[in-house]
A and B are shown apart, each in its own frame.
Chain A
Amino acid sequence: RKEVEQDPGPFNVPEGATVAFNCTYSNSASQSFFWYRQDCRKEPKLLMSVYSSGNEDGRFTAQLNRASQYISLLIRDSKLSDSATYLCVVNVDSSASKIIFGSGTRLSIRP
């Protein structure tokens, strides 16, 4: 099983749609969880951290299920500017080498 696994997509949805991504991780000792956004040939940018209680930032909602070892990201009322690759990132401990990036899920919003 991959350390961090994501559906590569692409997800192609119309503007205004709601879209959800899931991510699973294999190491039950993982401590911190994040969603990053990466535009083509650009650096990853932090979208949001994921907390056990779930958290929301505007149109974005992240959930963590430790028992099932998965993380989700929900985007409501999607905009054209949401088109990007979304990276699930897991930090197993405070070690840099233990930040594991998923391969990313590509999202394309069409007008």
Chain B
Amino acid sequence: EPEVTQTPSHQVTQMGQEVILRCVPISNHLYFYWYRQILGQKVEFLVSFYNNEISEKSEIFDDQFSVERPDGSNFTLKIRSTKLEDSAMYFCASTELGLRTGNTIYFGEGSWLTVV
């Protein structure tokens, strides 16, 4: 089964440092997403990306966050100056044709970020 891959699986960083989380979506997918889940809380939407630009973002996705598709395969999430409250599991996801009824969203295994 095709899969979304994420690296690193776990990163510990000091507060104020920049972090880049990497994702390789499924190869024929066109829509990419980042979600996050703070420990013990629900999964929350951060941002969606299509056709090399952000299509939607949530209130969480402030100026400290950015996304990029630097080449044909990687999709990255950058946090410029990490805060303690950025500690969470970050999930990358992709879909082939967006989120119309019947399309499945595939999640990567997640990158666990710990800010100390």
Please tell me if the beta carbons of A97 and B58 are within 8 angstroms of each other in the complex.
yes
Residues of B contacting A75 in the complex (Cβ-Cβ under 8 angstroms) = none
Please tell me the size bucket of the interface on A. Answer: 10 to 19
Please tell me if the beta carbons of A95 and B99 are within 8 angstroms of each other in the complex.
yes
Q: Which residue of B lies closest to A45 (CB)?
A: B107
Please tell me if the beta carbons of B109 and A96 are within 8 angstroms of each other in the complex.
no
Query: When A43-B108, A43-B109, A45-B107 are in contact, do A31 and B42 touch as well, CB less than 8 Å?
Result: no
- In the complex, the number of residue pairs spanning A and B with C-beta atoms less than 8 Å apart equals 50
- The distance from the CB of A46 to the nearest CB of chain B, in whole angstroms, is 6
Bound Cα distance A45, B93 (Å): 11
Query: When A87-B43, A101-B43, A102-B42 are in contact, do A96 and B107 touch as well, CB less than 8 Å?
Result: no
Interface residue ranges of B89-116 to A (CB < 8 Å): 89, 91, 98-101, 104-105, 107-110, 112
Q: Which residues of B contact A (CB under 8 A)?
A: 31, 33, 41-45, 48, 55-58, 89, 91, 98-101, 104-105, 107-110, 112
